[in-house]
Amino acid sequence: MTTYLTEYNWDDVVPVPQDDGGPDALVVIAYNDDYRTAMGYLRAIMRVEEYSERAFQLTSDIIFMNAAHYTVWTYRTRILFALGKDCEQELEWLEYVASKFPKNYQIWNHREIIVEKYNSPIRELPFIEAMLALDSKNYHVWSYRQWVVRRFNLWATELAYTSNMIEDDVRNNSAWNHRYFALFGAGAPVNDGIVASEIEFTKDAILKAPQNASAWNYLSGLVRTSKRPLSSLEDFCTSLASFPMTVSADSQEIVQSARALEVLADIYAEKRDLDRALQAWTLLADKYDTIRVNFWNYKKLQATRTIMA
């Protein structure tokens, strides 16, 4: 016998069976007996909007059988508030559930609702950091961290936190994304000194891994958002992607970073230096980024039409 059947008396409840679409249903999901029975009782008590301890326990049992069941989470929230249950106890329970199902987004949606009601972030950043220690690229955890930071105005620590994360793994795209959020997400103006410092920080990170798309995307975002000219990156990109004026399959050009070459091509196009832009795109198409050959050929065609017009 299962916990939800033995801990509470269900004699007054007639389970509502799953409607699979009739006897000739095309596809019938093969639920196990425990899950099928639990859901039968849940459908029955949801019909009469029963908000009770046994209903609350039943949602817990079903969540551990199928943590992705959105309706169960929604019903649990309604019971929680109807019974006036302790939000902190619910947060503790959620921490355990999250350790078992860390990439289930319903967990984080439910936690957001509870924290909003609890109106305190005191548990949140330590909990988030513990979860990211288990998986530093868990999208759901990072998304939740953004909500917590914005909701409780916790911007002050975020750049330092992402610096540590990037130091641990320079290719952590989630940390780079959060860093951009930390810098610009509050909507307040960012002074030139901070942006200049960020550009140097990012350049140093790129030198550790010149092909790392995450840092290059962040650098491009910094330049674009701060309205700096792309050409301000020309010297840095040239140091990582110098190349000759002729292109051949056996040429001995030194290109440490295809990403740098890509930015250089755009810089040359902006400066209407079509010859060097075409040369850079040709190198990318023929040698350094052949998987995107069609894209580079498209860029060449578009630039030629624009600059020659």
**Residues labelled catalytic:** 103
Q: Which two tokens stand for residue 221?
A: 């975002």
Secondary structure (3-state) at 165: helix
Torsions phi, psi for 14 (to 5 deg) = -100, 110
**Do residues 263 and 210 lie in contact, with contact meaning Cβ atoms separated by under 8 Å?**
no
Q: Give the list of residues 6+ apart from residue 14 with CB closer than 8 angstroms, or none.
A: 44
| Residue whose tokens read 């029955």 | 44
Whole-number Cα distances in Å, 228 to 92, 177, 219, 220: 46, 20, 11, 10
Mark residue 32 as left, alpha or beta (left: phi above 0; alpha: psi -120 to 50; beta: remaining): beta
Structural Rg of the chain based on CA atoms: 27
Q: Give the list of residues 6+ apart from residue 296 with CB closer than 8 angstroms, or none.
A: 281, 282, 284, 285, 289
Closest CA to 233 of 212, 256, 262: 262
Give the CA-trace dihedral at 270, 276, 277, 278, to 10 degrees: 150
**Do residues 202 and 222 lie in contact, with contact meaning Cβ atoms separated by under 8 Å?**
yes
Torsions phi, psi for 139 (to 5 deg) = -60, -40
